[in-house]
Amino acid sequence: MIQIFQGMVPKIGQKVLITPDATVLGDVSVGDDTGIWFQCVIRGDVNWIEIGSRVNIQDKCCLHVTNGEWPLLIEDEVSVAHNVMLHGCTIRKGTLVGMSCTIMDGAEIGEGCLVAAGSLIKEGFKAPPHTLIAGWPAVVKRELNQTQIELTKNIWQRYVKYKDLYVEEGWEYSTSNAAGHDSPQFPRNQSILRL
Ligand SMILES: CC(C)(COP(=O)(O)OP(=O)(O)OC[C@H]1O[C@@H](n2cnc3c(N)ncnc32)[C@H](O)[C@@H]1OP(=O)(O)O)[C@@H](O)C(=O)NCCC(=O)NCCS
């Protein structure tokens, strides 16, 4: 379900699959070839949410923001596994956020990281690129090994194919009715916007 909120229309790229039971509302943009899976809630009602291309947001994820303070940025080729909570944070390109993680306001996960399943990333935590982050609360463990790098890459690549498989089965790519609509947006903070 793609919902307008206070005139703000979600912007949806090409070949994007949003399952009908997922909710995408307000100032949200979604890049090409991204999949948003069953029962996700992505609520851009009080700040903006930007999701890059070839991203997968798996089942039952909850994405939200903080009014006037913390938008949410997810760069290209990120995987967000099942049941993750992302709130007002930044996830850089190619990172895998493992199942059931919580990432809080102002946190930034660097490029090509792996956040281990079940981790809690506290407010304002900064993770350097290409590292394994794990624990409750999480700490930086070490640089990723080759197996972990492969896992991270494989998941986003597989998910680009999975959503196309669903379309072959009769599901439809999602479109928003943004065309011709003068949709207002929350102000973008250039220091964190890198898409
Ligand atoms: C991180 C992960 C890949 C394990 O990798 P690994 O190479 O076997 O890691 P290791 O067992 O060598 O652990 C490295 C360190 O991280 C810790 N660790 C690993 N997984 C952890 C987890 N989920 N929570 C907390 N700590 C964890 C280990 O205890 C170890 O800590 P130490 O060095 O202080 O002893 C795995 O636990 C994981 O989270 N996978 C993601 C699964 C997922 O969500 N997939 C998406 C499904 S579509």
- What's 26's domain CATH number? 2.160.10.10
pLDDT of residue 135: 98
Interatomic CA distance for residues 43 and 64, integer angstroms: 5
pLDDT of residue 85: 98
- Return the residue whose CA atom lies nearest to atom 36 of ligand 1: 116
Q: Is residue 33 part of a domain?
A: yes
Nearest to 144 by CA among 128, 161, 132, 154: 132
Interatomic CA distance for residues 34 and 153, integer angstroms: 15
One-letter amino acid for residue 51 of the chain: I
Interatomic CA distance for residues 192 and 71, integer angstroms: 9
One-letter amino acid for residue 40 of the chain: C
Q: Is residue 193 part of a domain?
A: no
Q: Is residue 174 part of a domain?
A: no
Asked whether the bond before 137 is cis by omega within 30 degrees of 0, the reply is yes
- Return the residue whose CA atom lies nearest to atom 37 of ligand 1: 116
Number of domains in the chain: 1
Say if pTM beats, i.e. exceeds, 0.85: yes
The response to whether residue 99 sits with its C-beta less than 6 Å from ligand 1 reads: yes
Q: DSSP secondary structure string, 70-108?
A: B-EEE-TT-EE-TT-EEES-EE-TT-EE-TT-EE-TT-E
What sign results for the dihedral spanned by CA atoms 189, 46, 133, 53? negative
The response to whether residue 81 sits with its C-beta less than 6 Å from ligand 1 reads: yes
Atom of ligand 1 nearest to the CA of 145: 7
Residue 50, SS3?
A: strand
- Return the residue whose CA atom lies nearest to atom 27 of ligand 1: 134
The response to whether residue 116 sits with its C-beta less than 6 Å from ligand 1 reads: yes
The response to whether residue 135 sits with its C-beta less than 6 Å from ligand 1 reads: yes
pLDDT of residue 178: 63
Compute, in angstroms, the gap from residue 192 CA to the centroid of ligand 1.
28
Q: Is residue 132 part of a domain?
A: yes
**Cβ neighbour number for residue 146 with a 10 Å cutoff:** 7
Atom of ligand 1 nearest to the CA of 114: 1
What range defines the domain where residue 115 resides? 2-168
Q: Is residue 64 part of a domain?
A: yes
Atom of ligand 1 nearest to the CA of 119: 24
Interatomic CA distance for residues 28 and 8, integer angstroms: 8
What sign results for the dihedral spanned by CA atoms 171, 44, 93, 79? negative
Helices (DSSP H) in the chain: which residue ranges? 146-168
74 neighbors 96 (Cβ within 8 angstroms) = no
Q: Is residue 187 part of a domain?
A: no
127 neighbors 133 (Cβ within 8 angstroms) = yes
Interatomic CA distance for residues 48 and 71, integer angstroms: 5
Compute, in angstroms, the gap from residue 144 CA to the centroid of ligand 1.
11
The response to whether residue 102 sits with its C-beta less than 6 Å from ligand 1 reads: no
Atom of ligand 1 nearest to the CA of 151: 3
Q: Is residue 188 part of a domain?
A: no
**What does each of the 195 residues of the chain score in pLDDT, given as a tens digit?**
999 999 999 999 999 999 999 999 999 999 999 999 999 999 999 999 999 999 999 999 999 999 999 999 999 999 999 999 999 999 999 999 999 999 999 999 999 999 999 999 999 999 999 999 999 999 999 999 999 999 999 999 999 999 999 999 999 999 987 655 678 999 986 555 443
Compute, in angstroms, the gap from residue 123 CA to the centroid of ligand 1.
21
